[in-house]
Amino acid sequence: MSLRGIIKDFWREQRLFEQRAIAAVVIIATLSLLLVGRLVWLQVIRYDYYTDLSQGNRVRIEPLPAPRGIIYDRQGLILAENQPAYQLELVPEQVPDLDATLQGLVRIGLLNADDVDDAKRTVRSRRPFDSVPIRLHLSESDMAAFGVNRFEFPGVDIRTRLARSYPQGETAVHALGYVGTVSATDLARIDREAYAGTSTIGKVGIEAAYEDPLRGRNGSREIMVNARGRSVEKLGTLQAALQTRPGEPGTDLFLTLDLEVQRVAEQVVRDQRAAIVALDPNNGDVIALVSRPGFDPNLFARGLTRTEYAALNDNPDRPLFNRALRGTYPPGSTIKPVVALAGLTHGIIEPDKPFFCIGYFSLPGSSHRFRDWRPKGHGAVDLRSAISQSCDPYFYSLSNQLGVRRLNAFLGQFGLGKPTGIDIGGEKSGILPSPEWKKTAFKQRSAQVWFPGETVIFGIGQGYMTSTPLQLAHMTAILATRGKNFEPRLVRAMRDPRTQRMTELTPSPLPPLQAASAEHWDLIIDGMRAVMEGGSATRSAAGAPYSIAGKTGTAQVFSVAQNARYNESAIAERLRDHAWFVAFAPIEAPRIAIAVLVENGRSGSGTAAPIARTVMDAYLLRKFPPADAATPSGDVTEE
Amino acid sequence: MLREDVDSTTRRTLTQTARILGALRLDGPLLIGLGLIAAYGQFVLYSASGGDWGAVLRGSVRLGLGVLLMLVFAQLKPGFLRRMSPWLYALGLLLLIIVDAVGYVGKGAQRWLDLGFMRFQPSELMKLAVPMTCAWVLRERALPPDGRTLLLLAALILVPTALTIIQPDLGTGLLILMAGGIVVLLAGLSVRIIVGLGIGAIITAWIGWYFLHDYQRQRVLTFIDPQADPLGSGYHIIQSTIAIGSGGIFGKGYLRGTQGQLEFLPERHTDFVFAVIGEELGLLGALLLIGLYVFVVLRALFLASQMRDTFARLLSGCLAAIFFVYVFINAGMVSGLLPVVGVPLPLVSYGGTSMVTLLAGFGMLMALYANRKLAA
């Protein structure tokens, strides 16, 4: 006990220690109470809040995607259905390194190097716990390749999903549309909850327009998961009241399309850039809707690679372009019957009063010649032969007398210059020109003036006027029914897949045309009958057991200078005129109204009219040419 | 008659037990408190390890080793303990320097020495050696300590603290600092100096901020606002508060804590085991454990106050107080009161050498109490 001479006061030190020990006890008590207070705060006061968080942690709601509705044609043939398919899916939050994972998938040949960026974008746009498809439609060998290397790819798995399939391939693709992978732009406008677990969405056509009924409603299933997102249903000690809510399968659609007629129509313009629209004039049902060339919608449904898409998109024939709805062409002479009806209604022409066609028309006080398609002219013509021979000067003169405003108003009643209201999207309005339209269409003051000459060519469907094949079919349907007007429609009925209850959709009538008298309708339709009987399209009507009313047309792609001769052989194929033909049949009780457009087809009578005949035969007579039949060719008479 | 029999039997058994404990120089109440905590710990460990008997077994082996060491330490003479203090300190310091040097050469964090049969953390040794040495120094001086003594103590405490923090192991470094500091506080450091040091600490913390590693700064920032980085560094605190909060008063039931069993709770059987208790056994389970801890701490403080020797008193008081500091820091961290510091929950958390050190410390405390009448 050496204290090195320092005097220690033991009693004082003892008291000092005791004081400090008491202070320590006070501090310990205070801190303990603080701790207990914290626990009471968490476990008693905020109990409900943390219980919710804990529940949210362990229970995940997994979507049960509803099967998409099946699409049938009017006879019940399947156009779109669902097939089980294997696809590669990835859960972002379970993937440690997205770049390395995608590169690894490229290495084993499951992903195209070009598609890595797209895949990455898709993954980033989805919620971290959603299973994101990165490669659809795996083949057997793809699955084997993945199976061997699976351990390298945590968070990536093969899933079986119902995938859209189009058993008819290219047939009716421009009416049907297709589904494709949900893109970032789609995600911005849709309800993500409704698409959870779904990799595809209707992109165009019926698939897009009827997306909501087709999609149905997703069901959901609650699953218990651990921190790594894995399902842990087997963990028996943790009871969770897990719920399953079944989904509602999508509604089946029955189309107005007649698949057999559609096939014939596509076959007949197989190798051309063309559009055909056939309507039932009594209710607006679309019998056939063709735009060629087409493409296989299955490509989109199974996921298109960048190169495949580029090939389609860069094709000069533009297979993705829906010519029937979105192609706008000058309607040419096809509108002449309507112009004639305007002349009759406004009392400007008399049906039997002869008009002398000298091969051109000039406005009073002007030397500019509006030329007839036949240089030497048609001589004396009346209304009937003006229509059947498609005499241009007759209509130049008529238009000049009608004036642009009356022309515009009358043609407008036939649905020209505005969307027809067909039940799929993307339709173009075309142009029905007027002085007002010109003011908005041109920026320059000087270009905004409407010239009398522009009225003259308006009457033969040239100049500014453009229309889609669908609009001309619609116009023809109105002519066929003498003024009855229906919105074209592709879907005629829906069926609830659970109850199998069919709901017929009623046609949507538009206000009928009342301007014209019955007598005038007769005159016009008689003119159109004359087109087929002795007129420009006579040969296309040969041997038909039903009566046809039609009208040919050409749309100029290339304008020929004054005084120059139209030298067809010297003009490159792509600059040749587009060929038009519109018709309806039978005249007495019309069942079909059709518009045919063949791009650079040169002649309405020679190219377009025989096509229309084949389609009408198929629909009215159920007469189907063999699949390998060559494109029919008629006479190459000019109009 | 019968009652008397029973009473006498009980009394005899108790007397006998007391005699055995006395012979082993163990304190009965303290031993019972520690035993209950350890048993509770093993019970919870089974659930926290996801029903892994292997973890429980390994935990028990470690516990056994600690109890053995406690028994051995309890037999030591206070004088031997006292004389051992500076040597233990010197050894610890040397090992710390070696570990830092090896870590520096190996360009990485280095906290332990591989002894072949086990990994040994010199900083763990320092948790005992520093308060022992401080008590040893103070015993030789009049209390409260004068300025020169305080400077010496400051050096004795701060050097190993600094060496531990640069390993880097902020948590253990702070514990060493606190262990030494508590000895000085118990020795009667004047209130004025305590306030001064408090202000100094705030300034040091401010400056020290610039010397912290990024991950250490992140811990502090995350503590202030865990929601700022919910999937990154805030994840631990968020998940452990969810676990505790969702446990409620009665808990979700043993083995039924979803946060723990489904592994949302990180480090669930080591540093965050307190959250498993809060979740599965609720507020009551947590209060029971805290109650046991407080009992042990108070008993140890009482034992310390009974000692006549300054070294014994200061060291014992420090061991008692630092035990509470462990509990408070761990429970405070897990419940979101304090930042995340790697401090295990005493006698409950799985792994590490801290259980062995703690029980060795309690062994010393019992040895000192058994010889309380002597000025060591």
Judge contact between B294 and B325, C-beta under 8 A. no
CB-based contact (8 Å) between A451 and chain B? no
Which of residues 105 through 144 in chain B touch A, CB cutoff 8 A? 140-144
Nearest chain B residue to A224 by CA distance is: B262
Residues 545 to 584 of A: which have CB under 8 A from any B CB?
A: none
Nearest chain A Cα distance for residue B305, angstroms: 6
Rg (CA), chain B: 22
Establish if A237 belongs to a structural domain. Answer: no
Are residues B248 and A43, on separate chains, in Cβ contact within 8 Å?
Answer: yes
Give backbone dihedrals phi and psi of A274, rounded to 5 degrees, phi first. -155, 165
Statement to judge: residues B120 and B188 lie in one domain: yes
| B63-88 average pLDDT score | 91
Domain-located, residue A134: no
Residues facing A361 on adjacent strands = A370
- Judgement on whether residues B239 and B359 belong to the same structural domain of the protein: yes
Max Cα separation, chain B? Answer: 77
CA distance A190 to chain B (A): 28
Q: Is residue B236 located within the same domain as residue B189?
A: no
State the pLDDT at residue A469.
Answer: 95
Q: Which of A431, A475, A155 is nearest to A339 (CA)?
A: A475
Write out the residue range of the structural domain in which residue B248 sits.
Answer: 29-75+214-376
SS3 for A60? strand
Measured between CB atoms, does B375 come within 8 Å of chain A? yes
Residue A119 falls inside a structural domain: no
Q: What are the chain B neighbours of A6 within 8 Å (beta carbons)? A: 140-142
Contact B141 A228 (CB under 8 A): no
Nearest to B290 among A36, A226, A227 (CB): A36
Q: Which of A78, A68, A79 is nearest to A249 (CA)?
A: A68
DSSP state letter for A445 = G
Inter-chain residue contact A42 with B297, CB threshold 8 Å: no
pLDDT in the model for residue A639: 43
Query: Which residue, among A586, A637, A573, has the nearest Cα to A616 in the 3D structure?
Result: A586
Residue pair A286/A256 in contact (Cβ under 8 Å)? The answer is: yes
The domain boundary residue, chosen from B169, B197, B212: B212
A228 inside domain? no
The answer for B 238-277 residues in CB contact with A (under 8 A) is: 239, 241-249, 255-256, 258-259, 261-264
Q: Are residues B226 and B275 in the same domain?
A: yes
Clarify whether residues B360 and B293 are in a common domain.
yes
Q: CB–CB of A225 and B262 under 8 A? A: yes
Closest-CA distance, A329 to chain B, in angstroms, reads 58
Q: Give the domain CATH number at A602.
A: 3.40.710.10
Residues of B in contact with A24 (CB under 8 A): 186, 301, 317, 320-321
**What size, in residues, is chain B?**
376
Classify residue B22: in a domain, yes or no: no
Q: Which domain holds residue A428?
A: 259-621
Backbone angles phi, psi at A134, to 5 degrees: -115, -10
State whether B276 and B160 are in the same domain.
no
A45 in contact with B, Cβ within 8 Å? no
Residues 6+ apart with CB under 8 A from A325: A174, A291, A422, A424, A426, A427, A428, A468, A470
Chain B residue with CA closest to A59: the answer is B258
- Mutate one of A26, A43, A239 to test the B interface: name it (highest B CB count within 10 A): A43
- Find the Cα–Cα–Cα–Cα dihedral A401, A407, A409, A414, rounded to 10°: 140
List pLDDT tens digits, range B145-167: 888 999 999 999 999 999 988 88
Asked if residue B40 and residue B55 are part of one domain, the reply reads: yes
Region of B302 (left: φ > 0; alpha: ψ -120 to 50; beta: rest) is alpha
* Distance of alpha carbon B316 from alpha carbon B186, whole angstroms: 10
Which residue type does B197 have?
Answer: L
C-alpha triplet A369, A370, A373: angle, nearest 5°: 120
The alpha carbon of residue A233 is apart from the nearest alpha carbon of chain B, in Å, by 11
Residues of B in contact with A7 (CB under 8 A): 142
Distance from CA of B22 to the nearest CA of A (A): 25
Is A43 within 8 Å of B290 when comparing Cβ atoms? no
Distance from CA of B276 to the nearest CA of A (A): 13
Domain count across chain B: 2
B77 touches chain A (CB under 8 A): no
Does any domain span residue A452?
yes
Query: Cβ distance B80 to B364 under 8 Å?
Result: no
Q: Cα distance from B327 to chain A (closest Cα, Å)?
A: 10
Tokens of B30: 């303290």
In chain B, which among 283-302 make CB contacts under 8 A with chain A?
Answer: 283, 286-287, 290, 294, 297-298, 301
Of the candidates B14, B319, B165, the one whose C-alpha atom is nearest the C-alpha of residue A24 is B319
Question: In a 3-state reduction of DSSP, which class is residue A622?
Answer: coil
pLDDT of residue A568: 57
Q: Which of B164, B195, B212 is the last residue of a domain?
A: B212
Q: Which of A333, A385, A388, A434 is catalytic?
A: A333
User: Who has greater pLDDT, A614 or B170?
Assistant: A614
Confirm whether B99 is domain-assigned: yes
- CA separation for the pair B76, B79 (Å, rounded): 8
- Within 10 angstroms of residue A70's Cβ, the number of other Cβ atoms is 19
Distance of CA A470 to the CA centre of its chain: 14
Of A7, A12, A43, the CB nearest to B245: A43
Residue range B260-313, pLDDT digits in tens = 888 888 888 888 999 999 999 999 999 999 999 999 999 999 999 999 888 999
Chain A, 47-86: which have a CB under 8 Å from a chain B CB?
47, 49-51, 53-55, 57-58
Of A21, A31, A235, Cβ closest to residue B328: A31
Answer for the pair B269, B243: CB distance below 8 angstroms, yes or no. no
Model-level ipTM above the cut of 0.85: yes
Tell me which of B183, B242, B315 to substitute to probe the interface with A (most A C-beta atoms closer than 10 Å).
B242
Average pLDDT per 10 consecutive residues for chain A, totaling 639 residues? 58 86 94 95 93 82 84 92 86 83 87 83 77 81 85 82 88 92 79 74 91 87 74 58 80 94 92 93 94 91 81 89 93 93 91 87 87 86 90 92 92 92 91 91 87 90 93 95 92 91 89 82 92 85 89 77 52 80 93 94 84 94 72 44
What is the number of domains present in chain A?
A: 1
Q: What is the mean pLDDT of residues B181-210?
A: 87
Residue B160: asked if its preceding bond is cis (omega within 30°), the reply is no
Domain check: are B192 and B219 in the same one?
no
**Domain endpoint, select from B166, B182, B212:** B212
In a domain, B11, yes or no: no
Residue B12 belongs to a domain: no
The β-bridge partners of A231 are A225
- Asked if the structure places residue B250 within a domain, the reply is yes
- Shared domain for B104 and B183, answered yes or no, is yes
pTM metric for this prediction: 0.65
Residue B6 within a domain = no
Contacts of B185 in chain A (CB under 8 A): 20
A8 within some domain: no
User: What tokens were used for A405?
Assistant: 């405003």
Question: Which among B248, B287, B301 is the nearest to A21, CB-wise?
Answer: B301
**A615 domain residue, yes or no:** yes
Alpha helices (H) along B187-272: 191-208, 214-224, 235-247, 258-261
In angstroms, rounded to a whole number, what is the distance separating the alpha carbons of residues A166 and A181? Answer: 16
Let me know if residue B190 belongs to a domain: yes
Q: Is A24 on the interface with B (CB under 8 A)?
A: yes
Please report whether residue B7 resides in a domain: no
| Mean pLDDT, chain B, whole residue set | 86
| Residue of chain B whose Cα is closest to the Cα of A9 | B142
Give chain B positions within 8 Å (CB) of A239: 256
Question: Is-catalytic flag, A183?
Answer: no
Most confident of A10-24, B69-83, B203-217, B262-276: B69-83
B47: distance to nearest CA of chain A, Å?
12
pLDDT at site A366: 84
What are the phi and psi torsion angles at A508 (to 5°)?
-100, 100
Is residue A184 one of the residues assigned to a domain?
no
